[in-house]
Each structure stands twice: as C-alpha cells, then as structure tokens.
C-alpha cells in the first residue's frame, strides 16, 4: 500500500520580500524531499519516488527563479543532476510497466489474457524493475545522499547563499515577491509558447524540451499560487497537467515501441501478443499526436491569471 509523502502547503504573503519568500519555498521543497526519502529508506514506494521527483522539480523551478541571486555550487549542481537522473530512470520504468503498458494493453476481447500478463512481466524482468527499486533504497541510505542533503539544507536554509550575494542582488532581494513573480511566469510561458511552435513529434528531444518547459511553468505556478485567486490558479494548472500528461504518454509510447523492437528473444507463445501490442502502440501514438494540439490550444488561449 502506497503511503503518500506529505509536505505542508506554501503560504506566501504579497508583502513578503524575495528573501522571505525564498526561505518559505526552499523549506517546503526540502521538506518534500525529506518526507519522501524517509519512506524510501524503509521500503520502496512508487508514490514516494514520484513525490521526491516532484520535490526536485519544484526546487529546480525555485532555483531558476532566483538564479540571479542564489548561486548553487558546481558540487551541489552535480549532485542534484545525479539524484534526478537516478530517480528518473526508475520512475520511467515504473510508469512504463505499471501505467503505460496496462493502459495500452487493455484488450477488450480478453480481460484475463495470460500472454498479455506474461509479456508485461517479461518486460519488467528485462528492465530489471525490482532490482532498480532496491537500488533506490540503497541510494537513499548511502553516505553520498545523506552528505548531499545535509549540504543542500545548510546552504539553502542557513547563511550559505546570503554570504555570496552581490551588491546588486542584495538590493533585489528586498523587493516584494508580488512584483517579481508575474514577470518570471510571463517569461516561462513565453519560452513554452516558442518551443511548441517548433515542436517536431518525430524527435523525442523536441517533445522533451516542450515537456520540461511545461513542467517548469507548472511548478513555478504552484510555488507562487498562494499569491493569486485559487480558482483561477487551479483551472490553469489543470490544463497544464493535461498537456503534460499527453506529452508524457507520447514519450512513453515511443519508449515502449523501441523496447519491443530491441526484444528479439521473445518466446513464440508471446510473439502474437508482442505484435498486437506494437499495433496498439502505433494506433495510440497517432491518436495522442492529434489530441495534444487540441489540448495546447486550450492552454495557449487561456488568459494568464497573473496578468490581472
């Protein structure tokens, strides 16, 4: 049974300075990492891994917003990248085996298809899913992770980042968050719009760049959402999530298709099921590519709430 890693909601006041807001948001992101890691250190949990990745994404959005003021060391940047990559590999396998394949594999003619179950298990074994779960537990318990988290916490929540502020940054940090947040959100939305204009669905890197831009905008909005009317924020985030999910499924379908191409040693008993799955993947890919344009129109035509 999954135990959700909880973290307190962010409560910002419009009168807060950039410095005060940073302290609140940094503490929140680190709390999400800590609560998720605590669960994972005891036993592997799919939801806890997901929440840990979300915490890293939110921290990334926060550091992007404060990049002219808060300078992360090369060592911490490297460790953040390392941790994100390790978690992403396992998360992608979890989503593929436990979400994407069951959804695409849904055979209305036979709800208890033994070949379907066997092929899914074959893929899970091929990807070493169980082994990757144990790897994450060991990673969270490792001295490398413990040392990294301690240094990150000390730098963000104590005096580390303040000591490195330039004279210009010291003047910026006293500005009110309500004046600076809209400009950053506008900038991130513009990046997303420009990337989507150039999207090439045949190129995974092109789709991935759009996904990252959408995620960065979403998590930035979630950091600053207490500054705005909740009904407008929620409606905007829901559209972004739907857009993200559709792009994510496109990526998962392509990953699954490539995986099946690489699996040449499937038993004869599973060959028919493999061919059926490949056909289903192709059908779903075409449908999702058509769907994503419609979802994007809904996102792009929605007036940004932060401009009001």
Q: Report how far apart, in Å, the C-alpha atoms of 42 and of each of 24, 38, 141, 149 are.
A: 28, 7, 9, 17
Q: Is 3 helix (H, G, I), strand (E, B) or coil?
A: coil
Query: Is the Cβ–Cβ distance between 57 and 91 less than 8 Å?
Result: no
Q: What is the pLDDT of residue 108?
A: 45
Is residue 4's pLDDT more than 60? no
Task: Give ∠ CA 293-297-302 in degrees, rounded to 5.
Answer: 155
The interaxial angle of helices 46-65 and 204-224, nearest 10 deg, is 80
Q: How many CA atoms lie within 13 A of 9 on its CB side?
A: 8
pLDDT digits (tens, 9 = 90+) for 110-124: 445 566 677 777 778
Number of neighbouring beta carbons within 10 Å of residue 52: 26
In b/e form, how buried is each residue of 245-264, taking b as 16+ CB within 10 angstroms? ebbbbbbbbbbbbeebeeee
Query: Is the Cβ–Cβ distance between 218 and 240 less than 8 Å?
Result: yes
pLDDT digits (tens, 9 = 90+) for 262-289: 776 666 566 667 777 777 777 888 788 8
Number of neighbouring beta carbons within 10 Å of residue 26: 21
- What pTM was estimated for this model as a whole? 0.85
Mean confidence (pLDDT) of the chain: 86
Is residue 107's pLDDT more than 60? no
Alpha carbons 231 and 184: distance in angstroms, whole number: 21
Alpha carbons 306 and 217: distance in angstroms, whole number: 12
> Tokens 């008993």 label which residue?
269
Per-residue DSSP letter, 9: P
Alpha carbons 262 and 307: distance in angstroms, whole number: 49
Query: Is the Cβ–Cβ distance between 213 and 191 less than 8 Å?
Result: yes
Longest dimension (CA), the chain: 70
Alpha carbons 304 and 265: distance in angstroms, whole number: 51
Query: Is the Cβ–Cβ distance between 128 and 83 less than 8 Å?
Result: no
pLDDT digits (tens, 9 = 90+) for 63-96: 999 888 888 889 999 999 999 999 999 998 898 8
Q: How many CA atoms lie within 13 A of 71 on its CB side?
A: 9
Tokens found for residue 197: 């204009």
Q: Is 17 helix (H, G, I), strand (E, B) or coil?
A: strand
pLDDT digits (tens, 9 = 90+) for 234-267: 999 999 999 998 998 888 888 777 777 777 666 6
Which residues 6+ apart lie within 8 Å of 233 measured at CB?
Answer: 221, 225, 305
CA end-to-end span of the chain: 43
Categorize the per-residue pLDDT at 1 as very low, low, confident or very high, splitting at 50, 70 and 90: very low
């Amino acid at each position: 049974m999954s135990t959700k890693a909880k973290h307190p909601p962010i409560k910002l006041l419009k009168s807060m300075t950039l410095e005060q807001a940073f302290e609140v948001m940094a503490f929140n992101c680190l709390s999400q990492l800590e609560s998720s890691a605590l669960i994972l250190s005891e036993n592997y949990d799919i939801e806890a891994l997901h929440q840990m990745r979300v915490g890293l994404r939110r921290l990334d959005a926060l550091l992007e917003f404060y990049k002219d003021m808060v300078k992360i060391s090369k060592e911490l940047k490297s460790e953040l990248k390392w941790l994100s990559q390790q978690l992403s590999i396992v998360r992608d396998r979890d989503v593929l085996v436990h979400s994407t394949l069951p959804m695409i594999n849904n055979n209305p003619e036979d709800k208890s298809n033994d070949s379907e179950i066997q092929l899914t298990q074959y893929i899970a074994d091929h990807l070493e899913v169980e082994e990757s779960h144990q790897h994450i537990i060991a990673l969270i318990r490792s001295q490398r992770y413990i040392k990294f988290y301690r240094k990150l916490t000390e730098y963000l929540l104590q005096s580390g980042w303040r000591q490195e502020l330039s004279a210009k940054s010291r003047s910026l940090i006293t500005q009110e968050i309500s004046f600076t947040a809209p400009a950053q959100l506008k900038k991130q939305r513009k990046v997303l719009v420009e990337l989507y204009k150039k999207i090439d669905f045949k190129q995974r890197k092109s789709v991935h760049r759009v996904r990252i831009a959408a995620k960065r905008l979403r998590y930035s909005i979630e950091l600053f959402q207490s500054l705005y009317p909740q009904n407008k924020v929620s409606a905007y985030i829901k559209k972004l999530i739907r857009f993200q999910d559709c792009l994510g499924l496109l990526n998962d379908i392509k990953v699954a298709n490539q995986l099946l191409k690489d699996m040449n040693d499937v038993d004869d008993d599973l060959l028919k099921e493999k061919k059926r799955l490949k056909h289903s993947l192709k059908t779903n890919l075409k449908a999702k590519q058509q769907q994503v344009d419609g979802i994007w129109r809904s996102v792009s035509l929605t007036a940004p709430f932060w401009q009001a």
